[in-house]
Chains A and B, each alone.
Chain A
Amino acid sequence: MSTRLAKGGRLLNRGKPLDFTFNGKNLRGVEGDTLASALLANDQMLVGRSFKYHRPRGIVASGAEEPNALVGLGEEARFEPNQRVTTTELFDGLTCASQNHWPSLEFDVGAINSRLARFLPAGFYYKTFIHPRPFWKHVYEPIIRQSAGLGKAPRDRDRDRYEHFYAFFDVVVIGGGVAGLQAAKAAGAAGAKVLLMEQTPHWGGRAPVDGGLIEGAPPENFIDRTLAELEAMENVTLRTRMMGAGVYDHGYLLGYERVGDHQPDAHGPRHRLWRIRAGQIVTATGAIERPLSFAGNDVPGVMLASAIRDYAVNYGVSVGDRTVVVTNNDDAYRTAITLKQLGLEVPAIIDARPGGGGALAAEAVALGIRVENGRGVAWVKGRKRVEGVEICAQAGEGAALEEIKCDAVAMSGGWSPVVHLWSHCGGKLYWDEAAAMFRPDPDKAPTGADGEGFVRAAGAADGQFDLAAVLDNADAAGKAAAQATGHKPQDTAAPKAEAKAENPIEPVWMMPQGASIKLRMKAWLDFQNDVKVSDVQLAAREGFESVEHAKRYTTLGMATDQGKLSNINGLAILSDALGQPIPQTGTTTFRPPYTPISLASIAGEARDAAFQPIRKTPMHDWHAAHGAYWEPVGAWRRPYCFQRPGETIEDAVQREVKATRDSLGLLDASTLGKIIVKGPDAGRFLDMLYTNMMSTLKPGRCRYGLMCNENGFLMDDGVVARLDDDTFLCHTTTGGADTIHAHMEEWLQTEWWDWKVYTANVTEQYAQIGVVGPKSRKVLEKLSDDDLSAEGLSFMGWKDIELAGLKARAFRISFSGELSYEISVPAGQGRALWDKLLEAGAEFGVTPYGTEALHIMRAEKGFIMIGDETDGTVIPQDLGLHWAISKKKDDYLGKRAQARSHMTDPTRWKLVGLETLDGSTLPDGAYATAEGANANGQRNVQGRVTSTYHSPTLGRGIAMGLVLNGPDRMGDVLEFPRVDGHVIRAKIVEPIFYDKDGEKQNV
């Protein structure tokens, strides 16, 4: 059984016990534990079920590579699925639950899949559920979906805080082991601004567990000393609990800092995502031990040799009383020696190499450990935990030579450098045949903005495993990185180190090498996704020769661990099955993040009120307090209508229209774009921008204008006022303010840069209020002594006035057909003006109205709306706006395009009015059907509705639409089928429904 040893555990504070629960069971760990070490200390060997076969699974690793031990962590607003117990620090009150089983971890119905494993090979779902076709959607998929998915999605809102942090460094070193420390020191000593990050809470990496001597002393001495030196350097920043998540173009690097995971009650963010720009990146990310592929290698109690060593040394946890070590390299001997020295039994070391190990092997033998060279594990006994192993000749087919009783198996298939970060942004790898691993190719590093490489690997991440070589290599990497960022490295030597000489590894991709199919079907490659040696071999036989195809077919490496343990073994099996060398097969693509990061950390500050910027006018609060039903218009919130108690939205809109037409309405028009255009060439410039002539406009006057893009399509419209000889004020649509200003600047900066024109976007400088209706002049006259009579301020004129004690500008323009003014004042006084107009208008029943009433009134008058009548494919000519297109001008943006053959095609759909015969309202976007069907068998169409409303003024439905030959077909009746099949018939009419002669505004 696994248990806490009486002594040891270099990371523990045994004086501080911590209580936690696993599947409702109360357990106890100590400060310094990971959830994994605490579970093992409580003999919780079984921690989950595998994804496909629901096999019992235990902890395999001690770090980020853990494939099996995933739990649902926390509860309610803090619940998070698929958390690796190996990277979860224990805290008091932690609750977690295992996943992927029903009804319980111990007894799981889904485990039946394991019995059926023979019938569920790679590609089973693809092959089986394809016929009959309709069954996929209605039968198979719903059932399969039920059983798919790992863990449960959280149901509650996440209660924690998250944030980003932008940081800039010359050199970022990822990984705080001895290599990272030395690289950071070398770069820091050269004067570079350095960030050193370590994903665990501890510095030093594996060295304290693996041993060796640095400058004649244990690695801890070097770690403590170097850390102190780094802390003393002002140019070096040290962060623990921070993972290098991804490396991207031009030195962009994401650092994932887990600020609050280990202290959930602390104030502050839970995760902080560092968005780093690094001149140079040093990946000192170490290496990951590979499992060996033998039958039963997934039984709880079979673990990586290094992990068993870590639990013993770091956490004082013995995984088993009797541990068999199985290996193809010398490193695993360290585990045997460590366990033996702690007084635990190591019945045998099974070394697949006929020649066996070197100095470490000799040390093991000296300690009395039995070593079996040229042997392998044929079969692991036990289901929910290891009971023993059958050993066999590695060269054979798996005939058992002997059974050895044990309760843990420490396996080592060699080490793979963590090359993920190197590879994220295009760094290439090469296969080191002798060391049986992919290593970063220094000649093919990812390149930055200057075309030079910006990532260097150091230490084990570079394929160095001898302690002395690690430090030399890391020192050189740190110095080179500093030099590449313009700093001069110091002329110092790397610390001297010594470790026991090791015999070379011998690659073992299958154990035994001639394993029978029965054994191969129980030899796991990908523990989380249940991919076995036999599945990859089947994929190869079925023609999935590309590693990327084989991966997707078998799902090898596609689980939440992204194949950290399985990829190399899997592609070695694939290469063998294809009869080609490993480099020819290559690796799958390494993609960020290195391990999963929280979605909330990616969102950062963008949640709740800060989810997106909401633009608010100076009158926003009044609107909110008076029943505004909001409509998003661009990033603005505009009142769609103001709902009174007991009113429906439709009621409110109809009331607002009627009140405005009958007496007086107020519109918050502050969102309309306002752009000042000034200079000797301003008139010439606007003549190019608008389809009509603006240069002839007289100061004091306004003109409605249309703006097209170079494609000829209508993009914006609005009223232009000439302020003086040199200066124009261009109004744009609400959504168009920023784009039109950018459009103006683009043409001025990139095409007509010699024209003397300056623009300024003053949209937000002014609050603008539409004062609309027959009583509008009366209410203004109450508040102003200026002459606002028909002569004093005529239609399409503007003047500066004083209104209610405020300096204001009045534009006499109308988008409703009523007598109407738009009054602008500085935004800071907008609310004051609004309040005064409400007060003064009370006697006229003043009625604030929203965007829908605005739309109805403009539609009643046949005024077009950008975005309704236009959709990016409509030219002004389609809308009968010829009067606003100058014939005199040689050029304007869009003029040439409007002469293209398709634009002058007489069969382009044209704007008309539509009047339903029964008075009902047409659905928005409805199509008018025509005879016959097109090549796809769809009904032919001859027009569509662009705007449609119930007009309270006329008491009936009105609409505008684009119709084939529409203007020539007045009186024709079109048929518009609704979605429910009912057909509405509408007559083609002129698109002006109300006050055709404009008498209402002309008073």
Chain B
Amino acid sequence: MSEAVSALNRASRDGFVRVEECGLQGMVSLRGDLDSAKLAKAVTAAAGLDVPETGRILASEGRSVAWMSPDELLLIGPYAEAEPMRTALDTELAGEHALAVNVSDARAMFRLSGRDADVREVIAKLCPVDMAPGVFEPGRFRRTRMAQIPAAIWMPEPGEMRVVCFRSVADYAMTLLGNAADKGGEVGVFA
């Protein structure tokens, strides 16, 4: 079987923040009734996690579950685990009105790492979101606009930021993030 490749094949750029494409990630979009016990059970079976609250992301042991909208979650894990996660969801939700789709290949994920204040600044140059410490903290999951494309952002931990966008615009996203992180562009406002 041919090796699947991510949009930018783990390209990276080093500025005052390091920006790297994460390579292929497993991602399953789940639409359904987020309040239902059956769905919660299915999410636990597939990812070992609970259903996150509005605007939040939960993570444990390499899997994450993010709240996308009032009827949509995004399950994230290793690429090879996407199909098993989807199958698990389908099995658990058999007979329910729900939709689980593998969207691993439809997306590109980026990792920003560096000083906590610096990674916040890089995002704040591109997204109309308050990235101040105390306002945007690990656990928050925010879908927004990054320059001219839709994107989702979250902080797995201080000093690290993840960005997900569509695969077709990965090049554009890399250019944006890389330029924003170019040395000399430190704003110094969150320091």
Contact = CB atoms under 8 A, between A and B. Distances in A.
- Do any CB atoms of chain A lie under 8 A from CB atoms of chain B in the complex? yes
Contacts of B170: 616
B101 A166 contact: no
Contact of A266 (B131, B175, B184): B184
B135 A168 contact: yes
A855 B55 CA distance: 45
Contact of B98 (A272, A606, A758, A806): A758
B179 A605 contact: yes
B31 to A, nearest CB: 4
Interface string B86-101: 0000000000011101
Contacts of B189: 165, 167, 237
A269 B6 contact: no
Contact of A827 (B98, B106, B125, B180): B106
Contact of B101 (A193, A606, A762): A762
A268 B189 CA distance: 15
B78 interface: no
How many B residues touch the partner, as a band?
35 or more
A618 to B, nearest CB: 8
A671 to B, nearest CB: 8
B113 interface: no
Looking at chain B's contact residues, is the secondary structure mostly helix, strand, loop, or mixed? loop
A193 B103 CA distance: 40
A828 B31 contact: no
B85 interface: no
A765 B97 contact: no
Contact of B172 (A272, A613, A759, A831): A613
Interface string B136-149: 00000000000111
How many A residues touch the partner, as a band?
35 or more
Nearest to A637: B168
B172 A806 contact: no
Given A613-B169, A614-B171, A680-B97, A168 B130 contact: yes
A168 B29 CA distance: 32
B1 A805 contact: yes
B128 interface: yes
B56 to A, nearest CB: 20
Contacts, number: 145
Interface in A159-174: 161, 163-168
Contact of B168 (A275, A277, A616): A616
Contacts of B147: 605-606, 610, 613
Given A166-B129, A760-B29, A827-B167, A269 B185 contact: yes
B104 interface: yes
B124 interface: yes
B102 interface: yes
Interface in A249-272: 266-269, 272
B182 interface: yes
Contacts of B2: 804-806, 829, 832-833, 836
For B99, B124, B131, B170, which residue has the most chain A Cβ atoms within 10 angstroms? B99
B106 A762 contact: yes
B24 interface: yes
A676 B148 contact: no
Contacts of A161: 179, 182, 185
B32 A758 contact: yes
A616 B180 CA distance: 22
A807 to B, nearest CB: 9
Nearest to A615: B168
A679 B171 contact: no
Contacts of B176: 605, 610
Interface in A195-243: 237
A636 B128 CA distance: 25
A594 interface: no
A826 interface: yes
A760 B168 contact: no
B137 to A, nearest CB: 15
Contacts of A615: 166, 168-169
Interface in B21-64: 24, 29, 31-32
Nearest to B102: A765
Interface of B: 1-7, 24, 29, 31-32, 71, 97-99, 101-107, 121, 124-132, 135, 147-149, 166-172, 175-176, 179-180, 182-187, 189
Given A163-B180, A764-B166, A806-B1, 16 more contacts: A163-B179, A166-B128, A167-B189, A193-B132, A268-B185, A605-B126, A613-B148, A613-B149, A615-B168, A678-B99, A679-B97, A758-B97, A760-B103, A765-B105, A827-B167, A832-B5
6 contacts: A266-B184, A609-B172, A616-B171, A617-B168, A760-B103, A826-B4
Question: Nearest 3 pairs between A and B by C-beta?
Answer: A268-B184, A267-B184, A828-B4
